[in-house]
């Protein structure tokens, strides 16, 4: 029976719509992606053609409201798409995810003029980009950023450096966190978020080389007297930037958790298949109890991680505060990805270490899930703080 799935902004899709959308994404992954992943991963090649296909599927507008040209999907459906994509090539999900977190900042906190100006072009994938928060001196402690925006007539002039910015080279627009009042106390009151398009004074200084997460570009961005109109200040009011930036992280964490489920599932799938065809001591290795113990733990982690993601996404869709739920999902699913990818490699023996197979990629991609959108150390702290706040004595 068809069930209605409702997004945080009240938009509805049916469970049949969800099934059709997931089928379309899986067909695309089978037809146009899976055979190309190994070569593109090892060449660290940006997937231009796949980006065009993602535009056609509507992925750049997945969570943007329908009135602005997006699909208006609930987080629960979006998370399933992210998991499906990450089961095949996790890097692809980064191309539309940080773009959608930037879009969510404009949709949730921007003025109506900003929404009308940017969201339809974001949804079509005509303008793509991401979130520019981290600086060389700080990632976790975002209130320590040094990037400075100074008002000058109808503009602001921005100076400083951002690093590790996903889509920094191929994208053209970023939600940019700056200090408008470096003396403010508490520090977050002096922070503002701009929607910044590339232009004079905004340069990409270098592409950052990484262990994994290949194909997608990570870059350092330099702002040298970059001039931006004051009407690009999200929400039109200084001092709200920290709140706007962390407001997007709940959805970001659900997304990273969904990516973790994708990697954990892929590792389980490969391990289950390989263990039935590889024989030692006259029988398939899946008949050795040592391998069965690994498979049992791997499958349980996948199921538990999926359920935590679903539960956090449902809380998000209902508009509930869900930093604890999103934190638990992110923590557990990313650690599940790390453990499953390691076990998958062990089960594959020497072949797990070969670049001719996918297994070594899971092992390189999984640790990023423990770092991005707030490290797992910070997730534990967030969970504990919420636990205490919700259970006062």
Ligand X SMILES: Cc1cc2nc3c(=O)[nH]c(=O)nc-3n(C[C@H](O)[C@H](O)[C@H](O)COP(=O)(O)OP(=O)(O)OC[C@H]3O[C@@H](n4cnc5c(N)ncnc54)[C@H](O)[C@@H]3O)c2cc1C
Give dist(CA 314, CA 295) in Å, integer: 29
Nearer to ligand X, 133 or 261 (CB): 133
User: Could you tell me the smallest distance in angstroms from the CB atom of residue 135 to ligand X?
Assistant: 8
Give dist(CA 81, CA 24) in Å, integer: 10
For ligand X, the binding residue among 377, 385, 387, 388 (CB under 6 A) is 377
CA atoms within 13 A on the CB side of 286: 13
Give dist(CA 51, CA 79) in Å, integer: 19
Does position 138 bind ligand X by CB under 6 A?
A: yes
Give dist(CA 338, CA 212) in Å, integer: 13
Does position 22 bind ligand X by CB under 6 A?
A: no
Stretch that binds ligand X, among 68-76, 199-207, 371-379, 382-390 (CB under 6 A): 371-379
Give dist(CA 175, CA 163) in Å, integer: 13
- Radius of gyration over every alpha carbon of the chain, rounded to an integer in angstroms: 21
E strands within the chain? 4-6, 12-14, 129-132, 148-152, 155-166, 173-179, 191-197, 202-207, 218-229, 279-280, 283-284
Does position 133 bind ligand X by CB under 6 A?
A: yes
Does position 368 bind ligand X by CB under 6 A?
A: yes
Does position 340 bind ligand X by CB under 6 A?
A: no
For ligand X, the binding residue among 33, 62, 64, 132 (CB under 6 A) is 132
Stretch that binds ligand X, among 3-11, 43-51, 68-76, 136-144 (CB under 6 A): 136-144
Kindly report the backbone phi and psi dihedral angles of residue 92, in degrees, each rounded to the nearest multiple of 5, phi listed first.
-60, -35
Measuring CA to CA, how many Å separate 75 from each of 160, 201, 269, 306, 389?
Answer: 34, 36, 25, 13, 25
Q: DSSP readout, 307-323?
A: HHHHHHHHHHHTT---H
Q: Which of 45, 339, 373, 389 is catalytic?
A: 373
Does position 61 bind ligand X by CB under 6 A?
A: no
Does position 210 bind ligand X by CB under 6 A?
A: yes
On whether the CB atoms of residues 233 and 194 are closer than 8 A, the answer is yes
Stretch that binds ligand X, among 40-48, 295-303, 344-352, 366-374 (CB under 6 A): 366-374
* Interface of this chain with ligand X, residues 150 to 179, rule: CB under 6 A: 164-166
- β-pair partners for 59: none
The residue at minimum Cβ distance from ligand X is 139
Count, in order, helices (H) and strands (E) of the chain.
Answer: 11, 11
The footprint of ligand X on this chain (CB under 6 A) covers a number of residues equal to 23
Does position 245 bind ligand X by CB under 6 A?
A: no
For ligand X, the binding residue among 105, 131, 176, 254 (CB under 6 A) is 131
User: Could you tell me the smallest distance in angstroms from the CB atom of residue 203 to ligand X?
Assistant: 17
Active site residue 373: yes
* Interface of this chain with ligand X, residues 82 to 121, rule: CB under 6 A: 98
**Active-site residue set:** 373
Chain residues in the site for ligand X (CB under 6 A): 98, 130-134, 138-141, 164-166, 210, 213, 218, 368, 371-372, 375, 377-378, 381
């Amino acid at each position: 029976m068809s069930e209605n799935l409702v997004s945080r902004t009240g938009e509805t899709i049916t469970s049949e719509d969800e099934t059709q959308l997931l089928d379309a994404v899986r067909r695309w992954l089978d037809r146009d992606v899976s055979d190309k992943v190994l070569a593109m991963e090892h060449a660290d090649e940006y997937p231009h053609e796949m980006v065009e296909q993602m535009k056609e599927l509507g992925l750049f507008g997945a969570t943007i409201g329908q009135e602005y040209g997006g699909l208006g999907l609930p987080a629960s459906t979006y998370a399933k798409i992210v998991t499906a994509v990450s089961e095949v090539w996790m890097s692809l999900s980064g191309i539309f995810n940080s773009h959608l977190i930037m879009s969510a900042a404009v949709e949730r906190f921007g003025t109506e003029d900003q929404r009308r100006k940017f969201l339809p072009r974001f949804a079509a994938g005509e303008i793509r980009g991401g979130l520019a928060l981290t600086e060389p001196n700080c990632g976790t402690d975002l209130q320590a950023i040094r990037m400075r925006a100074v008002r000058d007539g109808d503009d602001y002039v921005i100076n400083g450096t951002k690093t590790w910015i996903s889509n920094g080279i191929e994208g053209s627009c970023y939600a940019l966190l700056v200090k408008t009042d470096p003396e403010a106390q508490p520090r977050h009151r002096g922070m503002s978020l701009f929607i910044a398009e590339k232009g004079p004074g905004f340069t990409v200084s270098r592409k950052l080389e990484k262990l994994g997460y290949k194909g997608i570009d990570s870059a350092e961005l330099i702002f040298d007297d970059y001039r931006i109109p004051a009407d690009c200040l999200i929400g039109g009011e200084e001092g709200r930037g920290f709140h706007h930036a962390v407001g997007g992280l709940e959805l970001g964490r659900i997304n990273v958790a969904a990516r973790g489920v994708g990697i954990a599932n892929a590792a389980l799938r490969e391990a289950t298949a390989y263990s039935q065809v590889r024989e030692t001591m006259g029988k398939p290795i899946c008949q050795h109890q040592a391998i069965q113990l690994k498979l049992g733990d791997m499958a349980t982690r996948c199921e538990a991680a999926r359920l935590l993601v679903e539960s956090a996404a449902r809380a998000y869709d209902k508009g509930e505060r869900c930093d604890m739920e999103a934190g638990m999902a992110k923590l557990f699913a990313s650690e599940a990805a790390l453990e499953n990818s390691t076990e998958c490699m062990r089960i594959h023996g020497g072949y797990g270490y070969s670049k001719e197979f996918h297994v070594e990629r899971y092992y390189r991609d999984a640790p990023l899930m423990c770092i991005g959108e707030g490290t797992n150390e910070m997730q534990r702290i967030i969970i504990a703080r919420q636990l205490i706040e919700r259970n006062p004595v």
